[in-house]
Structures are given as C-alpha cells and as structure tokens.
Amino acid sequence: MTPLFRLITILGSRRAVETAAREHSSRRELFARRCDACHRAGEAARALTAYPRAVYGRVEPLEEFLERHRAEEPLAWDSQATADLIAYLTEESR
Ligand code: HEC
C-alpha cells in the first residue's frame, strides 16, 4: 500500500466509525423515545434471539411483533423506524 492510499484508507475508516457512532446514538434516542419507558435496551436486545418465533403455528418476525406491539403508537413493519430500532437492538446485543 502506498502511504497516500494508506492515509486515505485510515481517514475513510475513521469517517465510517464516526458515522456509525452518530447513527447508533440517533437510534438510541429513538429507542429512548419509544421503548425505554417499559424496556431496558439490554433486555429488549436479548429478546432478539427469540425471533422469528412460532406463534400458533405461524412464523412471526420481530417486525410483525413490533407492528402489533403498541396499538397507540404503531410502527409499520416496513418503516425506517422499525429498521432503526432493530439495528439498534442488534448493535446492543453484540
Ligand atoms: C407501555 C409499555 C411498553 C412499551 C413502550 C414497549 N413495550 Fe415492549 N413489551 C411490553 C410488555 C408489557 C411486554 C410483554 C407482553 C407482550 O409480549 O406484549 C413487551 C414485550 C416486548 C417484546 C417481546 C419480549 C419477548 O420476550 O418475547 C419485545 C421484543 C418488545 N417488547 C420490544 C419493544 C420495543 C422495540 C419497543 C419500542 C418500539 C417496545 N417494546 C415498547 C411493554 C412495552
């Protein structure tokens, strides 16, 4: 690797790390707003391994569970918020 290429790689990966950290903290805010009152992140993250699960002989992905979970504040299964929440919980469960 040439020094210049190495420098570009280092700067690029630092930016990727910073971007990931920023995204993680905005997902954390989303979790705090929508889930924290009843769940701690660590507990909800552990529940991830239970999904997809079988309910009455049907497969239920986490997206579907969350869509039905809180009728007063619905989360569409294919919404950005659901994707971000699951990404957040996945990151927290590592
Ligand atoms: C008002 C309280 C409340 C809020 C807010 C809430 N939950 Fe829950 N959650 C519960 C209760 C009570 C249960 C257990 C009963 C059930 O399964 O519905 C539960 C169950 C769950 C489970 C299933 C756990 C298992 O072991 O199967 C997951 C996953 C979950 N919640 C995720 C979330 C996420 C993600 C959010 C934010 C979008 C959220 N919850 C918001 C009260 C809440």
Give the DSSP per-residue string, the chain. Answer: --HHHHHHHHHHHHHHHHHHHHHHHHHHHHHHHHTTTT--HHHHHHHGGG-SEEETTEEE-HHHHHHHH-TTS---TTSHHHHHHHHHHHHHT-
Residues 7-60 have pLDDT tens digits of 778 878 888 889 989 999 999 999 999 999 999 988 899 888 899 999 999 999
Residues 69-79 have pLDDT tens digits of 998 889 999 99
Mutation test residue for ligand 1: of 38, 67, 75, the one with most atoms within 8 Å of CB: 38
pTM to 2 decimal places: 0.85
CB 31 within 8 A of CB 85: yes
Which residue has the least CA distance to atom 23 on ligand 1?
47
Does residue 5 register a pLDDT over 80?
A: no
Mutation test residue for ligand 1: of 43, 49, 60, 70, the one with most atoms within 8 Å of CB: 70
Mean pLDDT of 64-89: 94
